[in-house]
Every structure is written in C-alpha cells, then in structure tokens.
Chains A and B, each alone.
Chain A
C-alpha cells in the first residue's frame, strides 16, 4: 500500500476543510498539508448554502447581542465559552474572506451589506446575493490554489483513522479513481467532512452528506455529541427538498396557511407584522425550530394546503416585486421556476419543512480538539457546541471559518508539542486491516441485503419516528430498527466488482456511516426526555434544565447500541431563560 507522509491531514475540503488548509499554509509554509476529499473541493455541499454568514460589523450591532441571539436560539444548550470565541472571531473571518475576494453584496457606499435572518435581533448576516455558501466555497478553494504546500487528494474516500499510542496518526483512504487504498501518515488529523442529513429521505442535503466524518471519529473511539438535534428548515420545495433560503423571509416573504392566515401568530410569534415590513425575531423571522413546529401544528389542525407532494403551507414573496427578487433572491426564483414550475414573482410557493442541518457531531472543545489527541474537527461534522439545540441560520457558514481556522492552529500546537515518531509497523498493520475490510466488502458475493433496500428502510425509520415531534415509543422503535439494520448491514451484497470509480462501494461505505450516525441520533433522542430546541417530544413537552441542561455524548460500540454519557453545558453569562420571538409586541 502506498504511504503518503504528511504533517497534517485534513479530511474534507468544504468550507471548514479549506479554511483549515489555508490557515495551516499561512501559519507555516514548510508544513506538509494533505487535503483529502471524496469530491473535488468545489463540489462540497457548502456550495448549496444560500442565505449568508453572521458576524457583527455594523455600528447598531454588538457582540453581546449576537451572543444573546445565538445562546437563546440554541435554547441554552450552547457552550457559552465557545459562543464567546465564535462571535469575537466572526467579523474577522468574514472580513478575511472579503480580502480574499469574496463577492459580498454591498451598500451603495461600498461597505458590505447585511440582511436580517431568523432569530437574529439585528441585521448581521453578510450575504452574496442568495449564493453565499457558493461564493464562500469558491473563494476559499481558489485562494487555496495560492499555496503550494496544500497537496490535494481529490476524490479520495477516507475509510479509517489510524490510532496508535493513544493518538491519531493518520488515516486510510480509497483513491476512488483507481480503487487503490492509500495510507496517510500524519502527526495530526482534522476532520471537516460535513453533516449527515442524507440519513433522512427528505432533505436539503446533497448526496455526499452521509456523516462519514462523524462515523470515522466515532468508530475511532471519540464520542459524538448532541446528535439528537436535527434541524428542519421550514421552507423546502415540497417535491425534492430543495431549500428556499431564509433570506426569502429576511427580505420580507410571509407564510400563509390554506385560509390565507399568517398562522405564525397562533404559535407565540405574533402579533402579525404588516406585509412587506418584517420585524426582527418576530413572525416569519422566528427561529427555524419554532417555524417548523408551527407547520406541524397547522398540519394537525388541517390548515395546510394539500399538493401532489404532501401537505404544504404557502410562502408569498409577490409583494417584494420582480426587481428586488431578481437582485436579492435570483437563485430562489430560478429554483422555483425550474424545479416546481412556479414563479415567486407571480404566485405563492408551496413549501414544507425539510431536514437541513445537524447541530450535533464530533465532540470538540473550544480549541476544536476531540478527546482523541491529534484529532481535531470543525464544520458541520463537529459539535463545539455553539449551535446548542437549534442553530440560527447563518451561524454555520461563519462557524466553518472560525473553527476551521481554530482547528488548524490547535493542530499546529499539537505537532509542535514534541511528538515521538509514529510506529510505522503498527500503523501499517492498521492500514492493512482497513484495506482488508474494504476488499472483503467488495469481494463478498453471498450477501442478501441490498444497499438501496437497507438505505430505504433507514430513511423511512428516521422520517416516521425521528421527525419534528417525537415520542418515546416511536423512538424506541427507531432504536430497535436502526440497530437491526446495523446487524443486517454485515450481510450486504455488492454487485460492482470494478476497482475504477466504484460508486456501489462508495454507497455501501456511506450507508455504514449513516447507520452509525443514525443510531447515535435515535439513542440520544430516546434518552433525552425533555423538549428543547429542535428536539421536541410529545411525551415530555417541557425543557428540563434541572436534569438535562447537558450535552449527550454517545460512545460507539461495534455491535451493540452506543453508551450514553452526559456532560454539563458551559455557562458563562446567560442563565437559561424564555425564548421570546414576539418582538413586535414591544
């Protein structure tokens, strides 16, 4: 097996991975950096982010306000020391991107423009029309081309971490193009492999978001945190889950039920604000969890519109007018016309909540370090946690930057701490075991389970039992089912025996990752007997700050369900309070 020797290996070349790579290259041009990604960097799902990235820059804003919005939005499950660090770094990182050429939208005087976003009290979301993530990703990717020390391994699928002497010393990866396994020996590894929304059938997430990074760390023995918090975005296209950015509502779009009522006022987010004059943190500018829950309420009351793709409510943007829509939301218009055949300039768009983001992920501290020395994580796959029980829109893109860089700096500190040389033979043995696992998977001919079949059962389970509102019995069913699917996974059949670009094999590996993550989600949800943020239980409707102002940590077990541990939330300034999204009252 070919060995690639490097100083720091990064798994994932989305927003977080690229930011980390650039930070490493800038910190020390002599560092050897291996940037490993299963897709070409600009294909990473950061490209799909539309709305924008939050950071305090305008004079009417303050760090304290961003802090308050984030912690309240996260239903006090956020670690406040992490949030403090995050909001301090946010404007610097967004300005840094500007210096790298990101085409942020501008005010007439040439300064960067900001837009309102759900759950934010002040306009503080930097945006590049409605293609913010796309521009961030391409700016980072293109900037990374400046640094010769960043060696890219595009279309390499990371399969296992190498852990020896209690620290992470590299990984194995499959070169997809050739089907060959490669061993990467590194003094530190940063995982930035994105989220895992694909374990649900109806999601804004791309095909590549299969929780690989989380599963890699999890299997290597470092716990996953708060996995039960899965964010639904309230405005997805009903037929395929394509996201209509929160910017739609930020710019003044409103939500109606089938009777033409602005129903959000019936869910504690009123009073109704005049059309075309959105008020921050009120009505349509409430947070995602509340809006998605309100949809569920309307559906139960029979107030939704039925469409060929299921029950919907209507997002009306007509009053914004063609000019504003074309300037601020061109992609949204294009997506509605192309994929639904409806023009938001002319008619309201049917929408429904869709799985969007995972608040949980690899447990890291404020330094982006995991519990495994030498292993760091950043981006959606990590859980620092700044997002707590519910992420505010536009905090994630910023998080990629802030903690991508942080992970890089921590990794450098780690390798400068005087590490002993790795034991080549031991690492090679692990790498060989990893290779053997893959080739066994590929060569098995007597499997009876199909990838597509198991995947569908997993998705159905997650959708029916682990949705916006959950109950103990459904969650118990889900836990059993996922655990069963994990057993059956061992009996999977692979039809494609070709080494070159074997997507069948990739899907099998991805399914493995998703099942591991799904188990952490279901077990975490079953055991969290309260309602907080995105985790709402019909059998425990209240938030329980006495017993559960805590993070869930799930520990992997190869055959059994995970072991669950709880960890106190870090509170520095803000004691749990009431989340108030009826700002218009005051």
Chain B
C-alpha cells in the first residue's frame, strides 16, 4: 500500500469510528506497523492545519474534533451540553479514584474526610466511574475505577498524563 493511500484510509477510519481509535487498531486494519501509523497521523495533522477540524489524542486513541476557536459558533447549533460541570465534591472524589483505583468508598471517604456516597453516585451516573469488582475480605466492599469516558471528558490520553503523585509514605523523613 502506498503511503498516500494509507493516509487517506487512516483519515477515514478516525473520522468514522464512534470512539477514539488506537494506533494499534489502525495498524491491525491497515496491516502496517504501529510506528508507521503514528507517522501517518502526524502527516494528517499537518494536512489539516488549515481546516476547522483537528486530530486529538485522547483515551488511548485518535479522534477528529473541531478547533477550540470555533467553539462559540458550534455552541449556537444548540447541541445538548453533555459536559455539565461537576460539583467540587464530585471532582475531589474523581481525582482520588483516578489515582488510587481500584479503591473502595471508605478509602475515598478517609482521604476526603467526609461521606462521599452522593459524589460517587453522580460520577457513576455520568459514567465517569464504574464498579470494578469487589475487594476480597470483610464485607467484600465494591471497588471503583475510572472509565474511558473520564479520559475523553477531561481530554486525557491516559491516566499517566496526570501529574505524578508525591509519595506520602516518605513523609516521616521530611517532617524530621
């Protein structure tokens, strides 16, 4: 397959997929090396420089989105606002789950210092968080973790993109 042809197909695949497509999936369909696919995506990025849409790398895949500067115009289309803001409580719980998943409700509450049932429920309703099974042991408490929708909603490539967490266990040393 010629590079130009591969590029065109890649463009079409990214456009048509109902979710962000990973380089791996693209490579499988195109029967090319993932490294080559990433080079192709760079070429597409350049070719769309003067267009209203651009490629975004999110939730482990690639997706076409409109450029931020035309957002005010798109708003006029009256697309339902899916991204209603979250409460502070919801954001705190989400931040904790993102870093410490899989995590139980009582562990979240210990960090936040307050009950978090309704915060967690809201996160689940909005599909930002899901139950990931249960922890072995007394009471077999439910474990929570974040979803791909969380990554997409917040424009994250993966959880690694979040700033790394200072190690609190070493605190004893610093206090001294």
Are both chains from one complex? no
Residues in A lying within 8 Å of B, measured CB to CB: none
Residues in B lying within 8 Å of A, measured CB to CB: none
